[in-house]
Structure 1
Amino acid sequence: MLKGLLENKSCRECRICCGFDKTDIWEMPVMNSDTAKELSRLRPDTEFTEKDGAFIVKAGRLEGDELFFCPALDKEKGCILGDKKPFDCSIWPYRIMDLNGTWVISICPVCGELYNRPLRELVEFVENGLGEKIYKYALENPDIVKKYDHSYPILKVLGEENTDNCLKRTIN
């Protein structure tokens, strides 16, 4: 989904988005049932937490500097889910977040490949179609909307005309 902005090679070499410590475990991707089933087929020992038809891989309690790596990560091949990867992963480091009842599109500051690019370039990518895709998916799958984290720069605030829909989806 980020073709033209982010090279597959860069992601394959970095993989920072596939590892989580106790401070960013909340960033675990939300999966739909089809993706969770596929991951279970490929990695039968994977355990999930389910909420309202959405699934998140159980990481367990992490201590100290302990890291949990997504079970879909193969150290040689990258993500074994390919085109079936979670939507969260297909748009990372972009995020849709809830800031006091208003949805915003932000960017995760740990992706060095994109975070060091000109802000104008990141915003243009959102404005040229990615933002609309993220918003549409979030309306249908509100579990991907994370609570806003102040360390994530906001690239787009979804307009007031969408605020009522955002609030309804977040509350329900």
Structure 2
Amino acid sequence: MAHSIPMIPGPQVVPSAVCFQCQVCCRFLEQDSFLRPFFTEEEIQQAVAHGIPSSSFPDHRGSQIKVVRHPTGEGFLCPAFDPTTQHCRIYEVRPLDCQLYPFALMWNAQHDGVVLGWDTLCPFLLEQANSDRPLTVGAPTSSTLTLPTAFMEQAQRVATYLESDNVLKTLALHPRLVTPFQPEVVVLQPLDRLTTILRSSTKDDTR
């Protein structure tokens, strides 16, 4: 059964004008990249209603989207991405997995805890980073990368959202929304409630 969840609260971290010029998001080097966005059942229904072919989703109960070959470049693209305009065709109903970026929801290196972090592959965030406060890159390596207060406040809003009851139910149904460990992601905080729920789940969490 489709399970509705609200959009992530708060402002978009990266300005739209910057996103439209970036060459990172929505592009993949491999056809089977584990970073392909995962869509829940309801998100698949919304994407199809907005013009994405139903064949883009191997399992309509919830799955990662099938990417397509870049028409003029190397690698692969999300079929919802328009390389001419640099816009997402389903932006208003984009899945939680895409809403999160440049935050990352992932398992830690030991795969015994879920954490929230930010992706250093995002050029805008990397430019904003400074050395005011040490954070952890992956774990347990130390780093001096940190971000402006407004970004950190939004990160806290996202963490609170992810551990709200309604969203936890969705994540429990779709544990593949949590990615494997990514060493280039700076860990911001552990998500203990989500960890407890997923560690007790028997559902496959492998991307």
Instruction: Give the corresponding residue for 2:191.
Output: 158
Rounded Cα–Cα distance in structure 2 between residues aligned with 1:12 and 1:56:
23
Identify the match of residue 96 of structure 1 among 105, 110, 131: 105
Q: Structure 1 CA distance, aligned partners of 2:176 and 2:101?
A: 16
Answer 1 or 2: which has greater helix percent. Answer: 1
Give the equivalent residue in structure 1 for 2:176: 143
Q: How many residues align?
A: 166
Counterparts in 2 of 1:15-164, with a 5 A limit? Answer: 15-22=23-30, 25-41=33-49, 42-44=51-53, 46-50=55-59, 53-59=61-67, 66-74=74-82, 75-76=84-85, 78-99=87-108, 100-118=111-129, 119-121=146-148, 122-127=151-156, 129-136=157-164, 137=167, 139-141=169-171, 142-159=175-192, 163-164=195-196
Report percent identity of matched pairs: 19
Which structure 2 residue ranges, 5 or more long, are not aligned? 1-7, 130-145
Cα drift, residue 33 of structure 1: 2.2
Q: Segments of 4+ in structure 1 off by > 6 A?
A: none
| Cα separation, 1, equivalents of 2:116 and 2:47 | 27
Instruction: Give the Cα–Cα distance (whole angstroms) in 2 for the partners of residues 163 and 38 of structure 1.
Output: 28
Unaligned runs of 5+ in 1: none
The question of whether the paired residues in 1 share the 8 Å contact of 2:56 and 2:66 is answered with yes
The 3 A distance-change label for structure 1 pair 59 and 13 is same
